[in-house]
Amino acid sequence: MKLKKILFIILFKIIFDLTNHVNAKELSNLALYSRCYAQVSQSFMPPQDPRTGAVRNGTKDPITACLEVLDMAKFTASGNTRIADANNPVAVSVLRTMHNLHSSWLEVTDFPNIADFGNNRDIRDLYDPTQPALYFTRALFGASVPYSDVVKSTDHLRPLRTTDDPGNSVSGQPKSASQFLSFKWAPNGTLLGAYDTDDMVWNYQFTSASGNPGSGTATAGRNAGGGIMGTPAYLLLTIAETADSYRANGSSVMARKWARSVYNDLLCRPLPVVRMGDAAAFVDTNSSSDFRKAQTCTVCHVSHDRLSGVVRNFRYQVVARFQQTPPAGGVFPTWLTINQSAETVWPINPDPNYAQRPPNGVFYFRNYLGELKNITNINGLNALGATIADQPDFYICAAKRYYEYFTGITVDTGDLGDASHPALSPINLQHRQEVIQLGLDLKNHQSLRTLIEKILRLPQYRKSDFE
Amino acid sequence: MIGLFFTFVISACGSKLQIDEQSIINDPPPGPFAIDGKALWNERCKSCHGTLELTDKKDRTPEQIQLSIQQISSMKTLSNLTSLTDAQIKAISEALQTEQTNEEFASRKLLLGTRTYVSSLFRTLFMTTGSETAINAKILDLIDRQPASFGGPCVPYEGGAACPGDRLINRNAPVLPLPSVTRRGFFIRACQEILSIDVAVTNVLGKVGLNTASVATSQNIDKLVNLFTPGRMVDGETIGSLIQIHMMAKTQSLSDLEAWRFTVLSLCSAITLELL
């Protein structure tokens, strides 16, 4: 008992001493490399790591060594679509770690219950909800992929995993029991890369549970433009108007949640993205929608409803809705024909022809400087991608996210000129300025790897508590 | 018992780290004369807008709330809303704030490794051949299967044993996990249970060229410390304390193996190991 008591006192001291070592000290080269190694791979640096000796004796810079670890996950094989060595556990860990990080940047992580299909089981088999994050991952590990490609690419990226067309569903059901026999399911296994697919057009034919024949064509791999924003999985994840008969009407029914996700995921800005006063001119008491009558509601709708105009032609193609409980089936994005003229104002009442008018949208946004961006007549997703790629906030957002991951410091990159925005302390302003500069630099050099290197080489990264 | 002791000791340290952790766990209670915005929310807002934790009306300013009450048709007719005073609306707004950004310090999270980091740490330290099934089972059970505590999302498409349990539920486990008492508890329990297996002790000693017959010199202890926290400098006093632990165990007639078990357990239980 006495021994236990004495041991506890000494243990207390050791824990206290060791804990003290995490406060405001400059890390040694080896400790710095070890931290960085852990962050890029989420694994403990093994004692036999080949760079350790050189880092310890000062012949190799610790950040250079860490970047070599990061580079193990570069897509250098199979036409720059996959990592060089699928059997290298460090490379696999780095790719998994960074892709998980990128996936966490997206606010919607699972499909809504579209068309009332129980548990989305078939939708999850057809689409991987982490697929949209591949646009970030490819920008980091792909060969000379500019960051703007995240919103400008027209590729449809498919995860490259160990099994490309698995025989079992995510929930473990055999594919042979599915009505989607001719469809290629989402790959499973270890993530090894990403590649651009064809449109994945499938001709299906089957007999439904009720005995009715079903046949047709479904397209699962066509990117509608604007990189991540037009990829089928992103649209199905974020539109969140779940009725299979969904059609945007310019007023009550809109793909506004998709637009909310665009502001949040790509610009790091939750709604509202403009100031209260910016909405005043759009309030209309004659509207049939409550949100147009109250400025506090309009301040969000003025940005997300009008932005979603670029995907107004979207509708669901629902395949194989069996008469079974729960209903099962697959959902694919498809697009209505444009056969109506463009509207001239933001409708105050539902417009039955809205979904078949040209896909014009408005980007209405206060940027990090507080400048109001009112970019009208954005025609379709590719034009929106170009608009977003032109905004410094798009790059500042990426800098903010990596900065947070590597230093733990959350930086506010919002519109500080908004009267409702909380004031920032001098230290938070300092971090904000740092992140803004990193973002502006990214806009110029377009390289996520360079952005990460710049963060790792900041003096505060060497400090044990990052202050 | 030892686990409880460690939890107590760690929370009693009073260091900045612990303050961060505590502030995450406990909301400060309102002062005696403060208006309780949370209670007001529950009384007048929750029925339409959901709980304070889950509502989508977070971070609303007093002006926004005031305007909503004045302008939204379904709100302006409710007397329990229109009767709210400016001070009450301010209190509700404060209760809706998710992040305090005007602090003296930067809004900083502790950087902790996710479960993949922690499990690789334990495997690196305590396994040599990879076939130590008892140790591996402990790591799987106490670390890999705890994404809610250690973070590290479960990607349903990855399959395999890397993420047992309900992968759909754990798909959102954070990439930047927060400190918690539960996490600390699992970590310390893993140290205890793994080190109760003799081969774990001999393995970790073997990694730095020691065995149970080795003497606990400052040089040997330093080798161990460097294995656990590569490149982190530890002062002579801490090394001295570890030697004392070892010697004390020996003077109590514990075997060499037990003496090293105690020494390694002390190192394993330090929070530094979880920090990146």
Q: For B152, which of A42, A109, A129 is closest by C-beta distance?
A: A42
Q: What is the pLDDT of residues A211-259, one digit of tens each?
A: 777 788 889 999 999 999 999 999 999 998 888 899 999 999 999 999 9
- Please indicate if any CB of chain B lies within 8 Å of the CB of A424: yes
Are residues A34 and B237, on separate chains, in Cβ contact within 8 Å?
A: no
Q: What is the pLDDT of residues B211-225, one digit of tens each?
A: 999 999 999 999 999
Structure confidence at residue B150 (pLDDT): 94
What six digits make up the tokens of A191?
């993530």
Q: Please state, for a pLDDT cut of 90, what percent of chain A lies above it.
A: 75
Structure confidence at residue B168 (pLDDT): 64
pLDDT exceeds 80 at position B87: yes
pTM for the model stands at 0.85
Count the Cβ atoms, other than its own, within 10 Å of residue A47: 13
pLDDT exceeds 80 at position A5: no
Are residues B152 and A130, on separate chains, in Cβ contact within 8 Å?
A: no
What ipTM was predicted for this assembly? 0.90
Helical residues (DSSP H) of A105-242, grouped into ranges: 121-126, 134-141, 149-152, 232-238
- Distance from the Cα of A275 to chain B's closest Cα (Å) equals 11
Question: Closest Cα partner for A227 from A256, A248, A196, A198?
Answer: A196
Kind of pairing, strands A82-83 and A157-163? unpaired
Distance CA A257, CA A254 (A): 8
- Distance from the Cα of A186 to chain B's closest Cα (Å) equals 8
Q: For A101, which of B68, B175, B266 is closest by C-beta distance?
A: B175
Are residues A296 and B276, on separate chains, in Cβ contact within 8 Å?
A: no
| Burial class of residue B56 in the structure, from the number of CB atoms within 10 Å of its CB (0-12 exposed, 13-18 middle, 19+ buried) | exposed
Are residues A28 and B168, on separate chains, in Cβ contact within 8 Å?
A: no
What six digits make up the tokens of A458?
């900041």
- Distance from the Cα of A157 to chain B's closest Cα (Å) equals 16
pLDDT exceeds 80 at position A414: yes
Q: For A18, which of B74, B159, B238 is closest by C-beta distance?
A: B238
How far CA A85 is from CA of A11, A70, A80, A332, B43, in Å, comes to: 44, 14, 12, 34, 59
Structure confidence at residue B61 (pLDDT): 77
Q: For A11, which of B64, B103, B266 is closest by C-beta distance?
A: B266
pLDDT exceeds 60 at position B29: no
Distance CA A373, CA A376 (A): 9
Are residues A47 and B124, on separate chains, in Cβ contact within 8 Å?
A: yes
Structure confidence at residue A275 (pLDDT): 96
| Residues A189, A344 contacting (CB under 8 angstroms) | no
Structure confidence at residue A445 (pLDDT): 98
The whole-number average pLDDT for the span A351-357 is 97
Q: Which of chain B's residues have a Cβ under 8 Å away from the Cβ of A173?
A: none
The band of B6, judged by pLDDT with boundaries at 50, 70 and 90, is: very low
pLDDT exceeds 80 at position A22: no
Q: What is the pLDDT of residues A277-314, one digit of tens each?
A: 999 999 999 999 999 999 999 999 999 999 999 999 99
Which chain A residue has the Cα nearest residue B114?
A42
A202 bridge partner residues: A218
Establish, for the pair of chains A and B, how many residue pairs have beta carbons separated by less than 8 Å: 241
| Residues B138, B119 contacting (CB under 8 angstroms) | no
A207 bridge partner residues: A213
Structure confidence at residue A18 (pLDDT): 53
How far CA A386 is from CA of A154, A193, A308, A314, A437, in Å, comes to: 12, 26, 16, 20, 22
The whole-number average pLDDT for the span A174-189 is 80
Are residues A15 and B113, on separate chains, in Cβ contact within 8 Å?
A: no
- Annotate A180-217 with b (16+ C-beta within 10 A) or e (fewer): beebbbbbbbbbbbbbeeeebebebebeeeeeeebeee
**Longest Cα pair distance anywhere in chain B, in angstroms?**
82
Q: Which range is most confident: A158-162, A202-206, A327-331?
A: A158-162
- Distance from the Cα of A351 to chain B's closest Cα (Å) equals 23
Q: For A22, which of B17, B152, B266 is closest by C-beta distance?
A: B17
| Residues A283, A292 contacting (CB under 8 angstroms) | yes
Structure confidence at residue B16 (pLDDT): 30
Structure confidence at residue B23 (pLDDT): 33
The number of C-alpha atoms within 13 Å of A89 and in the hemisphere containing its C-beta is 8
Q: What is the pLDDT of residues B148-189, one digit of tens each?
A: 899 998 888 887 555 665 556 677 889 999 999 999 999 999
What six digits make up the tokens of A208?
């439904």
A215 bridge partner residues: A205
Are residues B244 and A465, on separate chains, in Cβ contact within 8 Å?
A: no
- Please indicate if any CB of chain B lies within 8 Å of the CB of A29: yes
